[in-house]
Amino acid sequence: MFTPSVQHWLDLAGIFVFAISGALLAVRKNFDVVGMALLAGATGLGGGLFRDLVIGAVPPAAFTDLGYLLTPLAATALVFFLHPQVERINRAVMVFDAAGLGLFCVTGTVKAYGHGLGLAASAVLGLATAAGGGVVRDVLANEVPSLLRWDREVYALPAMVGATVVALLIHTGHLNGATSGAAAALAFVLRLLALRHNWRAPRAWHRRSRRGKEGAEEV
Protein backbone atom coordinates (compact mmCIF):
# COMPACT_ATOMS: atom_id res chain seq x y z
CA MET A 1 0.00 0.00 0.00
CA PHE A 2 1.10 3.58 -0.60
CA THR A 3 2.68 5.72 2.07
CA PRO A 4 0.74 8.91 2.98
CA SER A 5 3.32 10.96 1.08
CA VAL A 6 2.96 8.92 -2.12
CA GLN A 7 -0.85 8.96 -1.82
CA HIS A 8 -0.72 12.73 -1.39
CA TRP A 9 1.38 13.33 -4.49
CA LEU A 10 -0.72 10.97 -6.59
CA ASP A 11 -3.83 12.86 -5.50
CA LEU A 12 -2.22 16.17 -6.47
CA ALA A 13 -1.21 14.77 -9.86
CA GLY A 14 -4.76 13.59 -10.51
CA ILE A 15 -6.21 16.92 -9.38
CA PHE A 16 -3.81 18.80 -11.66
CA VAL A 17 -4.58 16.89 -14.86
CA PHE A 18 -8.33 16.92 -14.18
CA ALA A 19 -8.19 20.64 -13.37
CA ILE A 20 -6.45 21.27 -16.69
CA SER A 21 -9.28 19.50 -18.50
CA GLY A 22 -11.81 21.66 -16.65
CA ALA A 23 -9.94 24.89 -17.42
CA LEU A 24 -9.58 23.92 -21.08
CA LEU A 25 -13.31 23.25 -21.32
CA ALA A 26 -13.92 26.69 -19.79
CA VAL A 27 -11.75 28.21 -22.54
CA ARG A 28 -13.77 26.37 -25.15
CA LYS A 29 -16.99 27.67 -23.58
CA ASN A 30 -15.53 31.22 -23.56
CA PHE A 31 -15.61 31.56 -19.74
CA ASP A 32 -13.60 34.27 -18.01
CA VAL A 33 -10.72 33.56 -15.64
CA VAL A 34 -13.08 33.15 -12.65
CA GLY A 35 -15.14 30.62 -14.57
CA MET A 36 -11.95 28.83 -15.55
CA ALA A 37 -10.84 28.58 -11.92
CA LEU A 38 -14.25 27.37 -10.72
CA LEU A 39 -14.50 24.74 -13.45
CA ALA A 40 -10.92 23.61 -12.83
CA GLY A 41 -11.54 23.29 -9.09
CA ALA A 42 -14.83 21.45 -9.51
CA THR A 43 -13.26 19.01 -11.96
CA GLY A 44 -10.16 18.37 -9.92
CA LEU A 45 -11.78 18.13 -6.50
CA GLY A 46 -15.34 16.92 -7.13
CA GLY A 47 -14.71 13.17 -7.21
CA GLY A 48 -12.34 13.27 -4.23
CA LEU A 49 -14.82 15.27 -2.13
CA PHE A 50 -17.51 12.69 -2.78
CA ARG A 51 -15.15 9.84 -1.90
CA ASP A 52 -13.99 11.45 1.34
CA LEU A 53 -17.54 12.16 2.48
CA VAL A 54 -18.61 8.55 1.81
CA ILE A 55 -15.67 6.98 3.67
CA GLY A 56 -15.94 9.46 6.55
CA ALA A 57 -12.60 11.18 5.93
CA VAL A 58 -13.86 14.54 7.18
CA PRO A 59 -13.13 17.30 6.81
CA PRO A 60 -12.18 16.30 3.25
CA ALA A 61 -8.54 16.65 2.25
CA ALA A 62 -9.50 19.45 -0.13
CA PHE A 63 -10.21 21.65 2.90
CA THR A 64 -7.34 20.61 5.14
CA ASP A 65 -4.40 20.73 2.72
CA LEU A 66 -3.60 24.00 0.98
CA GLY A 67 -1.98 22.09 -1.87
CA TYR A 68 -5.36 20.67 -2.88
CA LEU A 69 -6.76 24.17 -3.32
CA LEU A 70 -3.69 25.67 -4.97
CA THR A 71 -3.27 22.90 -7.55
CA PRO A 72 -6.42 23.79 -9.55
CA LEU A 73 -5.35 27.45 -9.45
CA ALA A 74 -1.94 26.50 -10.85
CA ALA A 75 -3.64 24.52 -13.62
CA THR A 76 -5.88 27.52 -14.35
CA ALA A 77 -2.88 29.84 -14.64
CA LEU A 78 -1.12 27.40 -16.98
CA VAL A 79 -4.15 27.12 -19.25
CA PHE A 80 -4.85 30.86 -19.10
CA PHE A 81 -1.47 31.73 -20.58
CA LEU A 82 -0.57 28.61 -22.59
CA HIS A 83 -3.82 27.07 -23.81
CA PRO A 84 -3.63 25.41 -27.26
CA GLN A 85 -5.10 26.88 -30.41
CA VAL A 86 -8.90 26.81 -30.48
CA GLU A 87 -9.13 24.00 -32.99
CA ARG A 88 -6.96 21.77 -30.78
CA ILE A 89 -8.65 22.45 -27.44
CA ASN A 90 -11.17 19.63 -27.68
CA ARG A 91 -8.47 17.00 -28.19
CA ALA A 92 -6.47 18.42 -25.27
CA VAL A 93 -9.54 18.28 -23.02
CA MET A 94 -10.06 14.60 -23.83
CA VAL A 95 -6.42 13.64 -23.28
CA PHE A 96 -6.13 15.37 -19.90
CA ASP A 97 -9.51 14.01 -18.84
CA ALA A 98 -8.33 10.48 -19.70
CA ALA A 99 -5.16 11.03 -17.66
CA GLY A 100 -7.16 12.17 -14.65
CA LEU A 101 -9.49 9.22 -15.07
CA GLY A 102 -6.55 6.81 -14.90
CA LEU A 103 -4.90 8.43 -11.87
CA PHE A 104 -8.06 8.85 -9.80
CA CYS A 105 -9.42 5.33 -10.32
CA VAL A 106 -6.19 4.14 -8.66
CA THR A 107 -5.94 6.67 -5.81
CA GLY A 108 -9.66 6.50 -5.07
CA THR A 109 -9.67 2.72 -4.77
CA VAL A 110 -6.55 2.67 -2.59
CA LYS A 111 -7.82 5.36 -0.22
CA ALA A 112 -11.24 3.73 0.14
CA TYR A 113 -9.64 0.38 0.97
CA GLY A 114 -7.34 2.08 3.44
CA HIS A 115 -10.40 3.36 5.30
CA GLY A 116 -11.78 -0.13 5.82
CA LEU A 117 -14.04 -0.71 2.82
CA GLY A 118 -14.13 -4.07 1.08
CA LEU A 119 -12.56 -4.63 -2.30
CA ALA A 120 -15.80 -4.30 -4.31
CA ALA A 121 -16.88 -1.13 -2.50
CA SER A 122 -13.38 0.31 -2.86
CA ALA A 123 -13.46 -0.28 -6.61
CA VAL A 124 -16.86 1.42 -6.85
CA LEU A 125 -15.52 4.45 -4.98
CA GLY A 126 -12.46 4.43 -7.23
CA LEU A 127 -14.82 4.70 -10.19
CA ALA A 128 -16.77 7.50 -8.47
CA THR A 129 -13.55 9.35 -7.69
CA ALA A 130 -12.44 9.11 -11.31
CA ALA A 131 -15.75 10.03 -12.95
CA GLY A 132 -17.25 12.39 -10.38
CA GLY A 133 -15.20 15.45 -11.26
CA GLY A 134 -15.99 15.09 -14.96
CA VAL A 135 -19.71 14.88 -14.20
CA VAL A 136 -19.57 18.06 -12.08
CA ARG A 137 -17.56 19.80 -14.79
CA ASP A 138 -20.06 18.96 -17.53
CA VAL A 139 -23.06 19.97 -15.43
CA LEU A 140 -21.51 23.35 -14.57
CA ALA A 141 -20.64 23.87 -18.24
CA ASN A 142 -24.27 23.16 -19.16
CA GLU A 143 -23.50 19.93 -20.98
CA VAL A 144 -24.95 16.46 -20.55
CA PRO A 145 -22.25 14.50 -18.67
CA SER A 146 -20.24 12.21 -20.93
CA LEU A 147 -20.89 9.46 -18.41
CA LEU A 148 -24.60 9.47 -19.33
CA ARG A 149 -24.45 9.92 -23.09
CA TRP A 150 -24.88 6.87 -25.30
CA ASP A 151 -23.52 8.75 -28.30
CA ARG A 152 -20.15 9.35 -26.61
CA GLU A 153 -17.25 6.96 -26.32
CA VAL A 154 -17.14 4.78 -23.21
CA TYR A 155 -16.11 6.81 -20.15
CA ALA A 156 -16.92 4.84 -17.03
CA LEU A 157 -15.74 1.46 -18.32
CA PRO A 158 -12.00 2.34 -18.51
CA ALA A 159 -12.14 3.68 -14.94
CA MET A 160 -14.02 0.57 -13.85
CA VAL A 161 -11.36 -1.65 -15.39
CA GLY A 162 -8.57 0.34 -13.71
CA ALA A 163 -10.28 0.28 -10.31
CA THR A 164 -10.96 -3.46 -10.61
CA VAL A 165 -7.32 -4.16 -11.47
CA VAL A 166 -6.23 -2.18 -8.38
CA ALA A 167 -8.66 -4.15 -6.20
CA LEU A 168 -7.26 -7.43 -7.56
CA LEU A 169 -3.70 -6.24 -6.94
CA ILE A 170 -4.61 -5.41 -3.35
CA HIS A 171 -6.24 -8.82 -2.94
CA THR A 172 -3.16 -10.64 -4.24
CA GLY A 173 -0.70 -8.44 -2.36
CA HIS A 174 0.98 -7.15 -5.52
CA LEU A 175 0.06 -3.48 -5.33
CA ASN A 176 3.09 -1.20 -5.52
CA GLY A 177 4.18 1.90 -7.37
CA ALA A 178 4.86 0.06 -10.63
CA THR A 179 1.67 -2.01 -10.70
CA SER A 180 -0.52 0.92 -9.66
CA GLY A 181 1.05 3.00 -12.41
CA ALA A 182 0.31 0.21 -14.86
CA ALA A 183 -3.34 0.14 -13.73
CA ALA A 184 -3.63 3.91 -14.22
CA ALA A 185 -1.98 3.62 -17.64
CA LEU A 186 -4.38 0.83 -18.59
CA ALA A 187 -7.42 2.99 -17.83
CA PHE A 188 -5.81 5.92 -19.65
CA VAL A 189 -5.01 3.90 -22.77
CA LEU A 190 -8.46 2.27 -22.84
CA ARG A 191 -10.08 5.71 -22.73
CA LEU A 192 -7.84 7.01 -25.54
CA LEU A 193 -8.55 3.92 -27.64
CA ALA A 194 -12.27 4.42 -27.06
CA LEU A 195 -11.92 8.00 -28.30
CA ARG A 196 -9.90 6.96 -31.32
CA HIS A 197 -12.08 4.02 -32.37
CA ASN A 198 -15.46 5.35 -31.16
CA TRP A 199 -16.09 2.50 -28.73
CA ARG A 200 -19.51 2.83 -27.12
CA ALA A 201 -21.33 0.88 -24.46
CA PRO A 202 -24.33 -1.16 -25.67
CA ARG A 203 -27.84 0.07 -25.06
CA ALA A 204 -30.92 -1.98 -24.15
CA TRP A 205 -31.18 -5.32 -25.92
CA HIS A 206 -33.43 -5.29 -29.02
CA ARG A 207 -34.10 -1.61 -28.51
CA ARG A 208 -35.88 -0.14 -31.50
CA SER A 209 -35.70 3.50 -32.46
CA ARG A 210 -36.17 5.77 -35.44
CA ARG A 211 -35.20 9.27 -36.40
CA GLY A 212 -37.72 12.06 -36.46
CA LYS A 213 -37.89 14.73 -39.14
CA GLU A 214 -35.60 17.04 -37.19
CA GLY A 215 -33.07 14.32 -36.45
CA ALA A 216 -34.19 13.74 -32.84
CA GLU A 217 -34.40 10.12 -31.84
CA GLU A 218 -37.84 8.74 -31.01
CA VAL A 219 -38.38 5.49 -29.12
Q: Residue 137's closest CA among 126, 147, 125?
A: 147
pLDDT values of the chain reduced to their tens digit, one per residue, 219 residues = 567 777 788 788 888 988 988 888 898 899 999 999 999 999 999 999 999 999 998 899 888 889 999 999 999 998 888 876 644 666 777 888 888 888 889 989 999 999 999 999 999 999 999 999 989 999 999 988 877 877 677 888 999 999 999 999 999 999 988 999 999 999 999 999 998 888 888 877 777 655 444 444 544
What pLDDT was estimated at residue 123? 95
pTM: 0.80
What pLDDT was estimated at residue 179? 93
